[in-house]
Every structure is written in C-alpha cells, then in structure tokens.
Amino acid sequence: MTDTAIRPTEAHVDTPAGPGRVSAGLFEPRQLLKSLPGALRKLDPRTMVRTPVMFVVEIGSVITTVMAIKDPSTFAWLVAVWLWLTVVFANLAEAVAEGRGKAQADTLRKAKTDTVARRLVDGREERVAATALAIGDLVVCEAGDIIPGDGDVVDGVASVDESAITGESAPVIRESGGDRSAVTGGTKVLSDRIVVKITTEPGKTFIDRMIALVEGAARQKTPNEIALDILLASLTIIFLFAVVTLQPMAMYAHAEQSMIILVALLICLIPTTIGALLSAIGIAGMDRLVQRNVLAMSGRAVEAAGDVSTLLLDKTGTITLGNRQASEFVPADGVEEAELADAAQLSSLADETPEGRSIVVLAKERYGLRERHQGELAHAEWIAFTAQTRMSGVDLTDERGVRMVRKGAASAINAWVSERGGTVPARSGDLVDAISAAGGTPLLVAVEDTEGARILGVIHLKDVVKEGMRERFDELRRMGIRTVMITGDNPLTAKAIADEAGVDDFLAEATPEDKLALIKREQAGGKLVAMTGDGTNDAPALAQADVGVAMNTGTSAAKEAGNMVDLDSNPTKLIEIVEIGKQLLITRGALTTFSIANDVAKYFAIIPAMFASIKGAEALGPLDKLNIMQLATPESAIISAVVFNALIIVALIPLALRGVRYRPMSADKLLARNLRIYGLGGLIAPFVGIKIIDLLVSLIPGIG
C-alpha cells in the first residue's frame, strides 16, 4: 500500500487528482453558460416530476404564462418570466454538478479502446475482440499490450501503467498470488508477461462503472435525500392548502387576489431553495470523493460515511509507516554486542524485506560491520522465512565445522534452541516482554556451533507511528467517532502502539473472522462501521461494513465486496472519506435551514402587500404590523420576492458544489452553529435582498 504523509486537511479543500479532473472546490461563472443547454433539457415534465417542489414551480410558471397571455401586463409577464428562471436556475445547479462529472468521464473514455485480446484455449493463443471475452477466460498480456478487461493476475508479474484511472504516471507492480493481483481493463502493461483471468462481463468493467458514476447516470437517491424529498413535498402540500384557503379570507376583506399573485405567494413560501439544490449537493458530494481519487459505488456509501461512528483502521501502513526498522541490538548475558550484531547481519543477508535490510544497515553503521554479500559466502546454505517456521537464517560451513544462525519470533527461536539441547535464559524472555510492552517487535537471534545452541540476544524492531496521527484521532473523537486499530501483533505490542497513536481501542492478533465479528458487534449496537481492506480475506468484513473502502491494488474480490474503491490505495484516506461524508450531511442541513428561514422572511414581504389594497391601517388590522419592509407598491413587493427567490438559488450554487466548511465538533455545537449562521442568515438575507430589488423594480413603469 502506498504510504503518504498525513497532513491535517479541511474537508472543503479539494485537490485535483486523476486525469483532467477539475477541483470540486472551484466554481467558475462560465460553467453556468456551458451547463445552460442541459438545464433547458431538464424542463421536460417527466424529468421535473422527480423533484416535487420544482415540479410545482414549473406548473406555476405555466399557469402564470397562460394568465399573462390572456391578460397581458408588465406585472404578469415579469412574474411569469422570473418563475421560469427559477425553474431553469434549479436545473442549472444540477446540470453544473453533472457537467463536471461528464468532463471527467470524457477522459476515462479515452482509456476504452477496441482492444484485441490474446485468449488462451487449451494452451494455445487465439485473438478475439475484448468484447467477446467471458468471465473465467484467460488472456495473455505482454509489454505494450492493453489489458482487455478487469481481472486477476494468475501467472507472472508485470509493471502496469494505470494513469488512465489514477492519474499517477508512476507504474505499479501487479503479480499473482497476493493482494496486488487485480488489474483493470484499459490499463497498459509496460514490462514482462502476465496471464489474467477475466472477472467481469464486457460493458460492466471498472471504467464503465466509473464513467456511469461520475456522470451521475448511475446515482440513486439516498435514504436521507428521499426522506428530505418527502418532507419538502409535505411542506409544499401544506402551503398549497394555506394559499387556497387564503382567497376566501381575501374575498371577505374585499381584497380578492389574482391567480398570478396566489401562484407567486405559493412559490415563494414553499422551500424552493433546498428543493433546487438538493440533487446538486448529492452529486457534488460524490464528485469531491472523485477528486480524492475515491470511487463511491453509490451515494448511500457517501452518506453513510458521514454517519460513521466506528472506524476500523489497519495498523501497518495506516497508523504506522508500515516498514519496521531495526533500532538496537540487546545482547543476552555474557554475549558481546559485536557478536550479536554479526550474527544478526548474517541471518539477514538473504532477507530482502525492509526489516531485514534495516538490520544489515544497523549492523554496518553502528558496529562497523561491512555488508557481506551472499556471493562471498559460497558454501552458505540460506534458510528462507516461512509462516510455519517463523524464522530465517543461514548455515555456514568452514574449517571449524558447521555454524547455524537463526533469527525469528521469540517462541520459534526458543523452541529451536530447546530442540538442540540448549537452555533458554530467563533474561531473554524479560527482554522480549520489555520490547513488546514498549510497542516494538522483538526478534531473537540464536546460534548453534561447537559451544552448543544458545540465544545471543534480541533485535528491537520499531514500528514508527506516522506524524500527526494523534491529532487526527483527536479530531475524530470530537466528531463522536470511535477508532479501533486492527493488527496481527501480540496484545502488548498492540497496546503500546495504540497508546502512542491515541486510538480508542485495538484488536490484536486479528483474523478475518475476528474483524467480521467485531463489525457485527458494533452494528448490533446501532453503530455504522467503516473499514479498509485489500485482500480476499478482507472481503467478508468489507461487505459487512457500512462503508467498505477497498484498495485499488487489492484483489477483485475485495473491490467487489466494498462500496468504495481508493484508486491511490492509501488506507489513511478513510479519515478524509469520513470528513467528506460529514461535509455532505452538514451542507444539506445548512442549506435546508437557510431555505426554511428564507421562506419565513418572504412571508413578511408578500402577505402585507397582498392586502395593501385595503385602505387604512385600521382596516388592514394586524397585517399592518407585518409590513416591516415598507415596500413601494404591492406589485413591486411581489415581483421583488419572486426575483430574490430565483437569484438566491444561483448565489448558492457555488456553496452547494463546494460544500460547507467542516470543523470537528459535537452535534449540539454543530446545530447551534448552523442555526446561528444559516438560520439567522436565512432570515436576514431576504429582508436586505428584497428591499434592494424593490428599489430597482419600483423604477419600472407600471410597477412603481
């Protein structure tokens, strides 16, 4: 997995990632002009009916247009035109959000070519079109070939250019038999030869799904969006009844209202602002993830990320740097440090892991031991590390006889020494426990020579916690999210790392079954769980988690099981995903608050204006006290409210696309902040805006 530096981020700051992608945080006025044709196409009633609030606005626009044609006047035509603009502006918000996705999709389409595949049949190759491949087919890919479909490498290892989907020019290694076996159709093999087993049908590849998702064509409304749609539809029905019942009262007061005024009143009172921006907010939330090189398989996953209450994080590569480094050699009683360092270096010469390399380097730098190459030890027999033996080493033969050096897990080395008649000193156990308790990984070094089998000492491998992780976990805690570190280390080591990193809990010596059981326990308590994974053994847990983020370098099984795929394969990105999910929910809540507060303020503009024809404050009664704005004329008041209602949608499009700035805080503080900024702002803005528009509208002949 790719290791990237952890840095504090604000969820509203978006960085370009991937080919041809536009930052989600930027909004340019020319995007409005480019998206205008798409907004006009959305005026189709079959499209509008999916948004109940704006469908009512469209019906109102039709009614006022008919009335203006039947009885033309400047007032009637101004109301009709601005109601139509309200509908267009609402469609424009969604069209702009979708337009940015289409630009990204165009880049992805360039990766789709009419590839010819070299399919293996009974050991021989045959050339077929990539579209003719079926699940289970084996295809050969060599340097320069385009991989014809999604699949897993079942033979060989190769360097692959995945810049078409990740935007990263650096090639990646794909090989069989591990967690880096998945390949994506449309990517290019740069070196060597691999055999790929196709795992998806033509037309349903990873790139096909990416194109559909970033364009918005595959976006389904999330449960929260559906619930909010129902609320907005209910409010619309309530206001519809209120407006209908208002006419009899007006007739009783000898102030009968025209159909145009009643329609204008209805449109201004229903929550048009959030109704217009709701879809754009959802699309923009998924788009922000795309900017982070994360592909969400559904809007539900993004929304769930915002509600996550438990975060499961792998220790290695996520919380720590991933490569443990040798920090010191601790000799046993009666053993010189130089002797231990020499044996540790010998046993690590054939160990190509970062840990093994660090042992060789430490012995060279701290004890002046020259790095010996395997070629210099012609008669040495190298013992490779296996999961069964849990140790490695070398057998040396010279004039003094055979000398066997071993390095490995404490239990395995103790057993090896005991089998050869040696004694395990109590001090070695104390050293192992002390290093484990300090968060390190102890490796025992032992030797068998003419003096017998004995333990020489302990190598202290240190797992380094990434800089800034404790601060990130403190942020998550303020967000109300519980963090759980998952590791295969023993409990002592796991506890030390957990304490240093600042996580809330840890799961040591974790197996795939343990991960799945932990997720189910958390969910049984009503919590939403997020986790990352890349291997086939992670697939059950990824499928069970509410937010399962699969690494792009992982297996096809992991990517199919998760509901998000991180194209950069950076496990720390899970923290950013949660922040983006929360930002989506906050943005939706903030603009809903602003919209409803807007409606209250517009009430004070239109209702007094409707009954202004009643002469005298005494006749007007309590309604005169509501005439706070003192607008020029009833007609200018109504037109000003309608114009403001349309323009506020355009003004809020950048905020809907960029998202409300997110800061970690408790739910109570967040609610108070939203009410203070967007609730109070939603009340004040119409008073100021409508008054300014009224001063301009009153200059129009026939209105003022």
**Which residues belong to the annotated binding site?**
351, 355, 385-392, 407, 534, 538
Block residue for tokens 């602003």: 594
Q: What angle do CA 403, 405, 409 make, to 5 degrees?
A: 155
Radius of gyration for the chain, computed over Cα atoms and rounded to the nearest angstrom: 34
Q: What angle do CA 591, 593, 595 make, to 5 degrees?
A: 65
* Residue 325 neighbours by CB under 8 Å, 6+ apart: 354, 355, 358, 461, 462, 464
Report the distance separating Cα 346 and Cα 16, nearest Å.
47
Q: What angle do CA 177, 181, 185 make, to 5 degrees?
A: 150
**Does the annotation count 229 as an active-site position?**
no
* Residue 405 neighbours by CB under 8 Å, 6+ apart: 343, 346, 347, 393, 394, 395, 396, 445, 446, 447
Block residue for tokens 């297996």: 555
Report the distance separating Cα 315 and Cα 508, nearest Å.
10
CB-based burial, 246-256: b 16+ in 10 Å, e otherwise = beeebeebebe
Report the distance separating Cα 668 and Cα 195, nearest Å.
56
Report the distance separating Cα 256 and Cα 216, nearest Å.
46
Burial of residue 102 (number of CB atoms within 10 Å: 0-12, 13-18, 19+):
middle
Token couple for 553:
């370098």
Q: Is 72 helix (H, G, I), strand (E, B) or coil?
A: coil
CB-based burial, 497-506: b 16+ in 10 Å, e otherwise = bbebbbbeeb
Q: Supply the DSSP string of 375-390, one letter for each residue.
A: GG-TT-EEE---TTT-
Binding-site residues for ATP, in ranges, read 351, 355, 385-392, 407
Report the distance separating Cα 332 and Cα 354, nearest Å.
25
Report the distance separating Cα 656 and Cα 587, nearest Å.
7
φ/ψ (deg, to 5) at 614 = -75, 125
CB-based burial, 30-53: b 16+ in 10 Å, e otherwise = ebbeebeebbeebeeeeebeebbb
Report the distance separating Cα 15 and Cα 22, nearest Å.
9
Strands of 130-263, DSSP E:
138-142, 151-161, 172-175, 182-183, 188-191, 193-198
The active-site residue out of 314, 342, 546, 568 is 314
Report the distance separating Cα 48 and Cα 57, nearest Å.
10
Block residue for tokens 């798409």: 38
* Residue 230 neighbours by CB under 8 Å, 6+ apart: none
Report the distance separating Cα 600 and Cα 341, nearest Å.
78
Binding-site residues for Mg(2+), in ranges, read 534, 538
- Helix intervals (H) in 292-442: 299-306, 337-348, 354-367, 410-419, 426-437
- Helix intervals (H) in 525-614: 539-544, 556-561, 573-610
**What angle do the packed helices 573-610 and 299-306 form, to 10 degrees?**
90
For the annotated catalytic residues, the residue numbers are: 314
